[in-house]
Amino acid sequence: MKPIMALAGELAAGKTTSQALVEDALMRIAVPSGEGARVFLRTHREAALAEARASDALRAHGLVPSPLAGIPVSVKDLFDLAGDITRAGSKVLADSAPARSDASAVRRLRQAGAIIVGRTNMVEFAFSGLGLNPHYGTPKNPWDRATGRIPGGSSSGAAVSVSDGMAAMGLGTDTGGSVRIPAALCGLTGFKPTARRIAKDGTFPLSTTLDSIGPIARSVACCALVDSILAGEAPQVPTALPLKGLRLGVVQDYVLDGLDSGVAAAFGKALARLSQAGASVTEVRFEALCRLPQINQKGGLVVAEAYAIHRDLIARRSAEYDPRVASRTLRGADIGAADYIDVLAQRAAMIAESARVAAPYDALLMPTVIMVAPAIAPLEADDKLYGSTNLALLRNPSAVNFLDGCALSIPCHEPGTAPVGLMVVGQSGEDRRLLAVGLAVEVALRQ
C-alpha cells in the first residue's frame, strides 16, 4: 500500500475509492498463505466496508475531514474499540467485558475519517521487544520469510500489517521501543512522541510513566500526519528543514557498543550520505548513558509499574500468562518504594544532562537497534537467548523513553538487504521540529 499522502492524492483525484482500498486491505489479510491470521486478532470486515462506502459518499459531497479520510489503518490490541474486548495480546483478558467506548487515540483517528480494518497482534501486555506471542502466533518479518524472522515488538502486528499492505498505518504504543523496533526490523518508519503528547485513556498500560502512542507507516510524512491527528492538532505535515547546515550529533557512548556488521555498515553509509548532502554530522559524547544499566538493574520504572498494574491479576491467573512475560513482571515485587524514588530522581538528572548534551544540535543520531532481525525458532526454544536478545534490542530505543524524548526510526539499509533503522532523536516536547528534521533526513537516505 502506498504512503498516506499518495493515497490521499489518489482519492482526491478520483483515481481510487475508499471502498477499493479497504477491499484490497481485507483481501491481503485473508490470503491463506499470508500473515493475516497471525497479524490480526480480529478483523472488522463488515464495519470497515460500510465505513468506506460512507466515506466515499461524503467525499462526493466535498466532506473530507483530513488527508487520512477513507484510508485503512490497523489498531494494536492495547486500544479500546467500542464493542470489542481489549485482550492486550493475552488469554487472561479474553473473558473481559467489551469496551464501552473508543480510546482517545482511536476516537481521533475515526474523527479524521480513518477506516479501522482490525486489531493487531502484539507481545502479551506489550512486555518485550521481540514480537513473539505464544497464544496467538508470531507474524513473520517481511524480510526472509523462508527463515521466519521476528517482526520486533511489542507492536508486531502493527508493523506487518503495514509491510504487507493490510493497512496504510499501524497504531502502536512505545514504552521502550515498541514502535521503533518493529519499524526498524521491518523496513518501515516509526515515530515515538514525547510521552505526554498523546492522551492515553482507553489504552491498556504497561508503564504509566514511559508509555507513549505512535504510528508505524511508510514515511516520515505519514507519521507526521498521524501524529498531528492523535495530538488533536490540525492534520498536517510540517515543512522539511533544509538539510544543508543541519546540525546532527552522532552519539558515541553506549549506543554503538556491539553493533552487528550489517547494522554498522548501514549506519556508517547513512551518516556519509547525510554529510554529503550538506548536513553537519559530528560526534557527540554522552557518557551518562553508560549508567543506564546500573540505574535500571532491578528492572526500573517499567518493571515496577507493570507489577503494580498486574499484581492482583497475576496472583490469580499466572498460569495463563506467557511465562516469559510473567517472570519479568514478577521482578517488580522486589522493587521497593525507595528504589522507585531513586530511579525517578536519577531519571530527572539524566533528562537535564540530555538537554545539555543535545543543546548544540538539531537532533541526535544513533542506530535504532544493534542487530538485524534474528530467526524466531531459536528464540522460542531458548529462554536465555530470548532474554539476552530482548535486552539487546531494547537497549538503544529505551534510552529515549527514559530521557522523556521523542524519536523517529527511518530505514537506512540498501534495497534487498536486511532492514536497518536510523534513529533520529529530539528532546522532550520538540516533536514537530523533530519530524521536520526527519523529513530532511529521509530525503537524503532515499537518494
Chain segment 38-94, per-residue pLDDT in tens: 999 999 999 999 999 999 999 999 999 999 999 999 999 999 999 999 999 999 999
Region 365-390 average pLDDT: 98
Amino acid at 32: P
- Domain 4-230: CATH superfamily is Amidase signature (AS) domain (3.90.1300.10)
Q: What is the mean pLDDT of residues 269-277?
A: 98
**What's the pLDDT score for residue 447?**
79
Residue range(s) of every CATH 3.90.1300.10 domain in the chain:
4-230, 247-295+349-446
Would you tell me which CATH number, out of the four given (3.40.50.920, 3.40.1110.10, 3.90.1300.10, 3.30.430.20), belongs to the domain 247-295+349-446? Answer: 3.90.1300.10
Burial class (CB in 10 A: 0-12, 13-18, 19+), 214: buried
What predicted TM-score, i.e. pTM, was given to this entire model?
0.98
> What positions carry a catalytic annotation?
76, 154, 178
Per the rule left: phi > 0, alpha: psi between -120 and 50, beta: everything else, 229 is alpha
As a whole number of angstroms, the distance between CA 447 and CA 439 comes to 13
- pLDDT of residue 273 exceeding 90, the answer is yes
Quote the CA–CA distance of 152 and 371 in Å, as a whole number: 11
Percent of the chain with pLDDT over 70: 100
